[in-house]
Structure 1
Amino acid sequence: MSRGSIVFIDDEAELCAAAEEWLGVSGFSVTSYTAAQRALERVDPAGVDCVVTDVRMPGLDGIAVLNHYRAAAPDLPVVLLTGHGDVALAVDAMRRGAHDFIEKPYDAEHLVAILDRATERRRLGRELARLRRVAGGTELEDRLVGLAPAMATLRQSILQLADIDVDVLVTGETGTGKEVIARALHDFGSRAQGQFVAINCAAIPETVFESEMFGHARGAFTGAAGERVGKLEYARGGTVFLDEIESMPLALQAKVLRAIQERSVEPLGTNVSRPIDVRFIAASKTDLRAESAAGRFRPDLYFRLATVELAVPPLRQRREDVPLLFNLFAANAERRFRLPETGTHRVPPGLESSEWPGNVRELKALAERTVLGVMQRGVVPGEGGAGESLADRVARFEAVVIEQALRDAGGSTADAAERLGLARRTLNEKIARYGLRVPAEISR
C-alpha cells in the first residue's frame, strides 16, 4: 500500500530523478515534472496527496503552483522548496495556505517526515469533505465524529440500541458529548417522531421538582391557576433525557424511580395515575455504582437505569481524533461567523499531547478562538492554566523567544539562529510551525 501519492516539481532534472528514487524507496508513489505548466495541465488534484514544488523556476514559479492548487483543491497540501534567499517568501506563502517549506539542499529523511504530515492532512481533508456532504446531520458519523476504534464501537452500539425500547445510562466526563449520544439514540430509533425532552437534574429547584416533572392540577398549591402537564407526560411517545442525574437529591430519586418503574405519573393535586409512554436515557459524569456504594445515590435507581450502559471515552483516550475534530470545529466556526472558508487548518502545536480536561467542548472552544484570531500566532492560547500541558507552555515560551530574537536581529534568520544557538534550518522550521512573521526587511 502506497504511503501517499506525491507530485514533485523542479526545473532540475537531476533533482527530480533523485526525489523519485528516494521517495519511491520510502514507499511513496511519485510523479515528477521539470515544467510547472505541464504539471498543472496533467495532474488531477483529486488523485494526489501532496505537491512539492520549487519556488524559483522559469515560467510559472512555485507561488503560481500554490495559488493554482489553493483555488482548485484548498485541502491539497503544497510544500515549497526554497533557496536561502527565499525563506521570507516561503513563510509568507505559508500564511496564505502552503503546508510547509524546506530549504535546499534538504535532508531526504526530513522531506519524508514533512510528506507524512502532509498526507495525513490530506486524509483529514478528505474526511472533512465527506462529512460536509452529509446533508442536515442525518448520518450518525456526522454527529459522532471520530476515527478512533472506541468511537466506531460507540456508533455501532447506538445503531443496535436505537430501535430497542430499553432505558440507557450514558457515562462520561464533562464535555465528552453525552447529550449528543442521547439525541442520537432518540433520532435513529422508532421514537424519532416523538419529543426529546432534556432535563438538567441539577438545575430544577427541589421545591418545584414534582410540579415540573409530574405536572399539577389547578389549585394544587398557591399560584397554580391552571392545570400543567409535567415534562414526563409531555414527552409521550418520545424520550426523556435525565442529564446530571447524580446531582438529584435522594428524596427525589425515589419519586423518579417510581415513575420509571410504573411508567406512570400522578400530577400534584390529583389522585389519578396517568400512563406515560417514554424511553428514559440518563447521563452521569460520575461512577453511579460507586456513588450507590457510598450512599449518595439510590442503588435501585442505578440498576433500573443501567440496563444498558454506554461509556463515552474522554478526548485524551482518542488523541488520533484531535486534528479531525479541530478542523471540523474550525470549519463550522467559519460558517457560523460568516468568515472565508480556508479548508483545513494548521493545528496548533501541543494539541494532541494535551490532557483536555474539558474534552471535546474545550477543543471546540479552542477551534473557535483560533478562527476568530483570539490567540497568539498559532500557539495554544492561555497563560499556563491548570488544563494546559507542559508541551503547550514550552511551545508558547519558545515562540516568544524566537520572535524577540528575530526583532533583535533585524529580521535576519541567519543572525537570529546564531543568537539562539540553532541551525538555520531548525529555526526556519520553528518559524513555520508557530506561524511567526519574518520582517520583510531581511537583508542577509
Structure 2
Amino acid sequence: MIETRQILVVDDEESIRWTMRKALEREGYRVVLAADGVEGLTRATDPSIDLVLMDIKMPGADGLETLSRIKEARPELPVIIMTAFATLQAAVQAMKRGAYDYITKPFDFGELSILVRRVFEIRELTERVAQMEAFGGRPFDFEGVVGLCPAMQQIFKLVGKMAASDLTVLIRGESGTGKELLAKAIHYNSRRSARPFVAINCAAIPRDLLESELFGHERGAFTGASALRRGKFELAEGGTIFLDEIGDMDIGLQAKILRVLQERQFERVGGERPLSADVRVIAATNQNLETAVAQKSFREDLYYRLNVVAINLPLLGERSEDIPLLVNHFLHLFAEEQRQEPKTVSLEALELMLAYRWPGNVRELENVVKRACVLAPTSLILPEHLPAALLHVEEIGAAGGRSSFDRMLSQGITGELSRLKQERDGQIYSYFLATLERPLLLRVMERTGGNQLRAAELLGINRNTLRKKLRELGITPVRGDEEKTDR
C-alpha cells in the first residue's frame, strides 16, 4: 500500500466523514474532509489529492454537479461516487460524467478498501468515460430500470461505461426480464440517442419474411413486392437496431447479419447495390447460444461478433430485494397513465409478492400490479386483489418458494436497518451477527441439554469455536450431559 496517497472525502453528514476518515487512515491513507460540494471542489483542485470519495446527494451543489466540475478542472483525478439511491439513472449519470466507479450505501468498508486499492493499482490504465453530447428529444425514463442487487448494480455501471462506444451488445435473459427495456437504456444513453431505436423480434416473424423485414426489398423482388420497401436496418440509420430473440434466426440469414457486423453493408432482397449500415447492433436471446453453436444451429463466428459485450439479466426471483422498488415504480407509472394518485400495497400483499417465484419475471410483476390497481376499489391494494397464484404461494413453498422464516427474517432486518442506520452506522454488521447468534446458540444448547460436543456437531462447527462464541455472548452452558460424554 502507498502511504503517501491522499484521499478527499466529501459528504454532508459529519458522522460519515468521521467514520470514513478513521477507516481510511487505518489503511494508511492521508484523508482530507469536505462538508459540501463547494468545499469539495476547492479541495479537489489541490494536486496532492489522489482520489475523491463523494456523496451524490448534498445540499447546494450535489455530487453529480460537483463531479462534472472536478473533471473539468482535473480530468485525470479518479472520483468514486457514494449513493443510497439504487437507480440506473444515478449510476449512469455518475459514470457518464467521468466517475471511476460508484458504491451504494450502506457499504462494507472491506469492499470500499478493495475498490480504493484497485483505483491506485490501475490508475494509469483507467480510461476516461467520454461525456455524452446533449441531444434533443424526450429523455428516456431510466427510473423504470431499478435494482439493489449486486447483479443489477454491475449492469448499471456497464451501461454508463458503454455510453460513448458503438460496441455490439448481447443481452441474455429469460422472457420478461426486461431485455428490450435495457436495450433502450443503452441506446438513449449513447451518442446515437437522437437517432431511431428500431426493434424487431426475430422469433415473431416467419423465416421467409424476416430477411425482407430486416433489409427491405426492391420492387418486383418476389410475388407481391409491388413497391420498394425499406427494411429495419435502413430505418435505424444512425441509430440502434435491437434484434430480439436472435437465437431463433435462420442460420442462412445469420450469415447476412454477420456481413453487416463485419463490413457494415447489406443488400435489399432483389437488390444488386450494397447499402451502408451506420447502425449499432444490440441483440438479445433467452437461449443458450453456446449449446446452439455446438449443435450447429447458430453460427460460431456470429456468436463471437455479437458477444463483444455480454449482459446477463437475472431472474426476478433471484433479486427479490428489488420487488418493492419495482412495485412502487409500477404503481406510480399506472397512476400517471390514469391521471390519478398512486395506490399503496398492503404489507400482507407485499409479503405474498416477495414469496412468489415470478416465472414471468418483471413483465409478470407489472401486469399483477396494474391488475391490482384496477381491482382495488380504494387506495389500498389487499391480498384479495392479487391473482390466485400469489394467494396460494404458501402451498408451493416446498417447491422452491421462500420460507415463512426467510420472509420473517427479511422483514425484521429491513425494519431494524431503518432504525439502526443512524445510531449504529458502521457497526450494523457486527450488531446483526450478535443478535442472530445469541438466540440460535441458546436454542441449540437447550435442545442438546447443554452438551457442547453434540451442539457443535449440530451446528457444524468446531467445539472450540462453540466455546469461544459462548464466552463472547455471555452464555453459560448447563453441565451434566457434557461431562458424561467427555468421560
TM class by shorter-chain length? 0.5 to 0.7
Residues 172 and 333 (structure 1 numbering): CA distance in 2 closer, same or farther, change over 3 Å? same
Question: Residues 187-215 of structure 1, C-alpha deviation per residue, up to 9 Å, x if partnerless?
Answer: 11111111111011012222222222112
Shift of 1:327: 1.9
Give the whole-Å Cα distance in 2 for the aligned partners of 1:174 and 1:154: 18
Cα offset, 1:389, TM superposition: 5.6
Deviates more, 1:321-330 or 1:168-177: 321-330
Name the structure 2 match of 1:147: 148
The Cα shift of 1:153 comes to 1.3
Q: Indicate whether 1:381 and 2:382 are aligned.
A: no
265 and 253 in structure 1: CA distance in 2 versus 1, 3 angstrom threshold: same
Give the structure 2 partner of residue 322 of structure 1.
323
How far off its partner does 1:237 sit? Answer: 0.5
Task: Give the one of 338, 349, 359 matched to 1:357.
Answer: 359
Alignment check: 8 A CA contact 1:141 1:155 kept: no
Alignment match, 2:160: 159
Partner residue of 2:275?
274
Identify if the C-alpha distance between structure 1 residues 200 and 139 changes in structure 2 by more than 3 Å, giving closer, same or farther.
Answer: closer
- Tell me how far 1:308 sits from its aligned partner: 0.9
Native 8 Å contact 2:140 2:188 kept in 1? no
Q: Residues 369 and 246 from structure 1, CA distance in 2 versus in 1: closer, same or farther, beyond 3 angstroms? A: same
Are residues 232 and 389 of structure 1, via their aligned partners in 2, closer, same or farther at CA, if it must alter by over 3 Å? farther
- 1:224 shift after superposition: 2.1
CA distance in 2, matches of 1:139, 1:254: 33
Return the alpha-carbon distance in structure 2 between the equivalents of residues 137 and 172 of structure 1: 28
Matches within 5 A, 1:226-241: 226-241=227-242
Residues 167-176 or 245-254, more deviating: 245-254
Task: Give the Å deviation of 1:331.
Answer: 2.3
SS in 1 for 2:350: coil
- Check the 8 A contact 1:239/1:279 in 2, yes or no: yes
- For residues 200 and 363 of structure 2, the distance between their equivalents in structure 1, rounded to whole angstroms, comes to 20
- What displacement does 1:157 show? 0.3
- How many correspondences in the alignment? 268
Deviation of 1:286 (Å): 1.6
Letter of the 1:214 counterpart: F
Looking at structure 2, the residues matched to 353 and 162 of structure 1 have their Cα atoms a distance apart, in angstroms, of 36
| SS of 1:313 mapped into structure 2 | coil
Q: Is residue 2:196 matched to residue 1:212? A: no
- State the TM-score, normalized to the length of structure 1: 0.54
Structure 1 residue 336: Cα displacement: 2.0
Alignment-derived partner of residue 245 in structure 2: 244
Q: Secondary structure at the match of 2:297?
A: coil
Matched residue type, 2:205:
I
Asked if the contact 2:168/2:306 (under 8 Å) is kept, the reply is: yes
Partner SS state of residue 349, structure 1: helix
Contact 2:343 2:373 in 1 (8 A): no
Residue equivalent to 1:366: 368
SS of the equivalent of 1:225 reads coil
Report the Cα distance in structure 1 between the residues aligned to 2:241 and 2:210, rounded to whole angstroms. Answer: 15
CA shift digits 1:349-389 (9 cap, x unpaired): 32212211111111111111221126994247334489956
State the shift of 1:345 in Å.
5.3
The amino acid of 2:370's aligned partner reads: E
Contact 1:326 1:367 in 2 (8 A): yes
State how 1:91-102 maps to structure 2 within 5 Å: none
Counterpart CA distance in 2 for 1:287 and 1:227 is: 37
Q: Given residue 382 of structure 1, which amino acid in structure 2 is its aligned partner?
A: P
Q: Which amino acid aligns with 1:354?
A: Y
Greater relative contact order (Cα 8 A, min sep 6): structure 1 or 2? Answer: 1
The whole-number CA distance in structure 1 between the counterparts of 2:216 and 2:210 is 9
1:310 paired residue number? 311
Separation in structure 2 between the aligned mates of residue 279 and residue 363 of structure 1, nearest angstrom = 31
**Amino acid paired to 2:355:** S
Shift of 1:180: 0.9
Gap change, CA 1:192 and 1:293, over 3 Å in 2: same
- In structure 2, the CA distance between the partners of 1:187 and 1:340, relative to structure 1 (3 Å rule), is closer
Is the 2:172–2:311 Cα contact (8 Å) retained in structure 1?
yes
CA contact (8 A) 2:233 2:279 kept: yes
Which residues of structure 2 form unaligned runs of 5+? 1-83, 94-136, 402-487
**Residues 29-178 of structure 1: matches in 2 within 5 Å?**
138=139, 141-178=142-179
Q: In 2, distance between residues paired with 1:184 and 1:218?
A: 36
Instruction: Give distance in 1, aligned partners of 2:252 and 2:222.
Output: 20
CA 316–340 in structure 1, closer or farther in 2 if over 3 Å, else same = same
Instruction: Summarize the Cα distance change of 1:349–1:186 in structure 2 as closer, same or farther, 3 Å threshold.
Output: same
Kindly provide the amino acid, as one letter, of the partner of residue 251 in structure 1: G
Give me the whole-angstrom Cα distance separating, in 2, the residues matched to 1:385 and 1:286. 28
How far the C-alpha of 1:238 sits from its partner, in A, is 0.6
Amino acid at match of 1:319: S
Deviation at 1:344, TM superposition (A): 6.5
Q: Which amino acid aligns with 2:190?
A: G
Distance in 1 (CA, whole Å) between partners of 2:268 and 2:358 is 43
Partners of 1:367 and 1:336 in 2: CA distance: 13
2:211 and 2:269 in contact (8 A); partners too = yes
Decide whether the 8 Å contact of 2:293 with 2:300 is kept in 1.
yes
The one-character-per-residue Cα deviations of 1:68-104 (angstroms, maximum 9, x if unpaired) are xxxxxxxxxxxxxxxxxxxxxxxxxxxxxxxxxxxxx
- Whether the aligned pair in 2 keeps the contact of 1:165 and 1:279 (CA below 8 Å) is yes
- Superposed displacement of residue 151, structure 1: 1.6
Distance 1:278 1:176, change over 3 A: same
**SS of equivalent residue, structure 2 residue 303:** helix
